[in-house]
Structure 1
């Protein structure tokens, strides 16, 4: 690959992320067991539509590159679709897992909790890679899947990954979809309540996690912001329409000048912003020109609760015991295809 082509690739990355500086360094490393990650800009995440035709802009470039302060290694590939350009980073699989562990929970956690994160991150990635093997990418770098921040790890995260090298959770011999979230707020949610399908290895369980910054939260959202986010005018009221079997909000009814509209609570979170409405475990009160949301937890609430796993580790539970609690009936095995 010539230096000219490397510069061209860097320019494409520049346009995608509206960056001021992108640096690339060529490399001759060859990787075996890898994963392809679609790099998303957190401010304006774009993923290709299901049947969106993609045109390869250039061949892969191996090396190191810096995008908006984030250092990536491995290979970079750029594709063009009708909605813009997409950057895919292909890297060694276990290096990817190390970065995810660091990005998801940091390294000051108990080692057993870090091992838990290593296994669920690896399992989730194996599952996505198996499901999306024919796509240009296997997984995204954002909370749409799990957070990946490039070459971002340290000794403790690396140790947790190495001590569990190749280990994944399986059910009936197959990798599970290891769903997890930050904070349940006391009780995890059933997957059928959010995604419309059940998993034999995911149940609703009581959790701890009071140390989480999202154990209890409050958000005051102006009506004008709600109108803009929901694309409505003349907001009048918002009320809970239904609850899930675990007590979370399932649907809300929004009343405006144009009438009533029912919105699923998870869609409401997405439209208002994941940080603005951290979970679906909330109550709400209209106060003057705002709505006050008071709630517990962060994330969809399904599967393993990271902050509860940390509490369990602090109380002496090992990573196998923690995983068994959140994913009953699963087994830990070495995944096929690893090198």
Structure 2
């Protein structure tokens, strides 16, 4: 079945923010296709006619100064306004619902502006990074939004190398193809939001995006090989999630995101010995003093002061996957007992890691002794959908991308979306 962009939009599904990226790769054996010199010298094809996606690059400034390193055209919402030569400086300022631009002795005001070239392979530099497509400048109250608008397939070129390890040979080949299909499906769903100024963030709130400098020739090749392929269920685009390492069992989406009882996201066992155990740091430990635990509870508004003693901490219940469902804290203060239960994925955002980041996973055991809470866990991420390191293992084991996606999204199909319709 061929899906059009418009039929895809009719069946859009709410996507949630995700958070994940990884840089470690490993060497393994595989019966998959072997990379060769031609693969690594593969030129990026930018002539695939995919719709544009808008990526938020910056939203932290009330004024913005951009120095151009190449000649570009300044476009308003209605028309092209001027050719700006390399070396010129553009000063922008939010002006209510409009944006104000100053270039030398010339001033312009519009709903938004674009900077780019007439060439469809336009490349523009912002904050020392090169991006394909256009820069779009618009106002959001008193802030300036800097948005990279570019074809979806080109966007994926700057995503895939940052969202999954490439590997040293061909060991990750089919895993990368499965990730390309998943990332494309996710992106298209985000592109159909209504009344928005951009589609996706450039970080783990959506997918990590690094522009041209992040691109690799081999992942450009993989993206072209899978161009237009998305996951569907009952002929509708599937809802896609992925994380680094599921810890041995993926999770039911309802247990993480709530009210999402999706047939193909019920959770699957990921091998008798977890496929994703090949990930560096698969097993991990965090230790906390009682004072630190109380500070977590205070910051989460679970208690209104830190004048408590922690009598006990225990796991009350687990999901079928083995992840913690309920983590209970038994506290006392002035002979008053208090119980606090933190549930599901909320545990990760309340109990932080030593470096301040969210807890890697809720696939863990605990030990509370001598006023020290020790958490011993497995995996990294919420665990819903595609397990990236599990996919890498399966790729090493000779599975192709279709088998990998079928394992993590059972009952789904891979279909082609026709960008030209």
TM-score, with normalisation over the residues of structure 2? 0.64
Aligned to 2:205: 144
Quote the Cα distance in structure 2 between the aligned partners of 1:281 and 1:329: 26
Aligned to 2:385: 303
User: Quick check: 2:74–2:113 contact (8 Å CA) kept in 1?
Assistant: no
Which residue of 64, 67, 86 maps to 2:124?
Answer: 64
Quote the Cα distance in structure 2 between the aligned partners of 1:171 and 1:322: 16
Of Structure 1 and Structure 2, which has the larger fraction of its residues in strand?
2
Q: Identify which range, 213-222 or 82-91, moves more after superposition.
A: 82-91
Aligned to 2:11: none
1:160 deviates by: 0.9
TM-aligned CA distance change 1:161 to 1:240, over 3 Å: same
Which residue of 185, 194, 197 maps to 2:256?
Answer: 194
1:201 deviates by: 1.9
Question: Which ranges of structure 1 fall in alignment gaps of 5 or more residues?
Answer: 1-11, 31-53
Quote the Cα distance in structure 1 between the aligned partners of 2:316 and 2:66: 48
Matched residue count:
302
TM-aligned CA distance change 1:214 to 1:27, over 3 Å: farther
Quote the Cα distance in structure 2 between the aligned partners of 1:82 and 1:234: 42
TM-aligned CA distance change 1:288 to 1:144, over 3 Å: farther
- Answering whether residue 282 of structure 2 is matched by residue 215 of structure 1, we say yes
Query: 1:51-200 alignment to 2 at 5 Å?
Result: 55-57=97-99, 58-62=112-116, 64-67=124-127, 70-81=129-140, 86-108=145-167, 109-130=171-192, 132-151=193-212, 152-196=214-258, 197-200=260-263
Quote the Cα distance in structure 2 between the aligned partners of 1:338 and 1:283: 51
1:64 deviates by: 1.9
Which residue of 305, 325, 335 maps to 1:250?
Answer: 325
User: Quick check: 2:182–2:231 contact (8 Å CA) kept in 1?
Assistant: yes
1:61 deviates by: 2.9
Q: Identify which range, 135-144 or 300-309, moves more after superposition.
A: 135-144
Bigger radius of gyration: 2
1:302 deviates by: 0.9
Aligned to 2:373: 291
Quote the Cα distance in structure 1 between the aligned partners of 2:231 and 2:159: 17
TM-aligned CA distance change 1:120 to 1:281, over 3 Å: same
- Pairwise CA RMSD: 3.2
Q: Deviations along 1:126-162, whole A, 9 cap, x unmatched?
A: 12223x1432122222222222222211111111101
TM-aligned CA distance change 1:248 to 1:167, over 3 Å: same
TM-aligned CA distance change 1:166 to 1:241, over 3 Å: same
Aligned partner of residue 361 in structure 2, secondary structure: coil
Quote the Cα distance in structure 1 between the aligned partners of 2:358 and 2:195: 35
Quote the Cα distance in structure 1 between the aligned partners of 2:328 and 2:404: 38
Question: Which ranges of structure 2 fall in alignment gaps of 5 or more residues?
Answer: 1-56, 76-95, 100-111, 117-122
